[in-house]
Amino acid sequence: MQWLSRDAAIARLKVKPQTLYAYVSRGLLAARPAEDDPRTSLYSAADVAALVQRRRRGRKRVDIAQRAIAWGDPVLESAIATVREGRLIYRGEDAVAWSVHATLEDTARLLWAQPDNWAPRPPRRRAIAGESAKARGLAFLSRRAAADAPSFGRAPAQLALEAYDLLCGMTDALAGDAAADGAPLHRRLADTWGLSAARADILRRTLALTADHELNPSTFAARVAASTGAPLAAAALAGCAALVGPLHGEAAARAIVFLDAALRDGPAATVRAVLARGERLPAIGHPLYPQGDPRAAALLAALKPRPAIASAIAAAEDALGLSANIDMALAAVTLEYRLPRDAPFVLFAAGRMVGWLAHAMEQQAVGRPIRPRAAYVGP
């Protein structure tokens, strides 16, 4: 990442110093201390360029709305997570560093803003019927959404306890009957799939790394539902419903298909075949991480997939000049450990439950619905 001095940034933006500092405080412009003088700040050249481009396009309301709806300007305030300078941050903690030691329960405590000694008793395990993990998870959330009390007006501590009950229940639904009572959430999933302790630790990292990712589609859906005062389970159900889409939570399924073909036909031939069909190589690159998705890099480094899988990923990366993202890492975990093909969805849904519930509780504190306007283009 390139950095500019204060005077250079001001000159390019054509603003006063106070405006420059306001951009930083609003999260629109990244800044860091200069290495040779910590009292002097440097400013992200990429952020400066984006601000200049935005000013050139104008500030009409329709322009602002169009830029905000897809990978654009922030649309609401949140203290839960952000992506800055190529890093995913959980309430001030680097998510990759956090995942080295944290369980999903630890991550819930962090993202739900609970004290370090917060340790609610896990509820009794519940038998949840369904033909697949996805069906069981959606059924569990549907039943709770229909039965639970609205979140509106309830105390934050009470909501946090309900959120923990929902998190454990969702894990029960996804894991099935094999897991033991009282086991950590990642261990329940590992028991379901018959994994060793070492492999269970990869699941722990995966759950911590997928717990939240700012305003992704499923999280925004959860916040919209929560903004109406709906039960926490309804907000999580809205998030899970968005997750089943092929452009979001099911993106790893396409990565599995690619890796399967690469293992069968060879990486180079598979890459050529995909590109010759005019298709995109799956799970490569990420708009928020121009230098590479740190979640995928950390997970693949810990996983150390067998050479054939690593070569397939490298071939796709070399073909596009971009790095694998978290969906490719989930696909690699699935094939390396010979897990069921729905394992990426199970891991993503179990981990992201923490984020959906965190955002639902944060949105509930706002106390008003999310209700944007549409730009009408009909007759």
Which residues pair with residue 42 across a beta bridge? 32
pLDDT tens digits for range 319-341:
999 999 999 999 999 999 999 99
CB-neighbour burial class of residue 287 (10 A; exposed 0-12, middle 13-18, buried 19+): exposed
Q: In one letter, which amino acid is 343?
A: A
Return the structure tokens found at 104. 């999903």
Pick the CATH number of 3-88 from 2.60.40, 1.10.1660, 1.20.120, 3.40.30: 1.10.1660
Helix 156-175 / helix 104-111 crossing angle, nearest 10 deg? 150
In this prediction, residue 94 carries a pLDDT of 97
Q: Where are the domains of the chain?
A: 3-88, 93-379
Separation of alpha carbons 304 and 157, rounded Å: 40
- Concerning whether 286 is annotated as a catalytic residue, the answer is yes
pTM: 0.84
Give the active site residue among 172, 186, 327, 359.
327
In the predicted model, what is the mean pLDDT of residues 164-185? Answer: 83
DSSP state of 243: H
Return the CATH fold of 93-379. Answer: Citrate Synthase; domain 1 (1.10.580)
Helices (H), 210-336: 217-227, 232-243, 251-265, 267-276, 294-303, 307-320, 326-336
Asked whether the beta carbons of 39 and 80 are under 8 A apart, the reply is no
- Concerning whether 327 is annotated as a catalytic residue, the answer is yes
Rg (the chain; Cα; Å)? 22
Identify the weakest region by mean pLDDT among 66-75, 177-186, 212-221, 363-372.
Answer: 66-75
Give the active site residue among 186, 213, 286, 359.
286
Asked whether the beta carbons of 185 and 104 are under 8 A apart, the reply is yes
Q: Tell me what percent of the residues of the chain surpass a pLDDT of 70.
A: 93
Residues with Cβ < 8 Å from 215, sequence gap 6 or more?
A: 75, 76, 78, 223
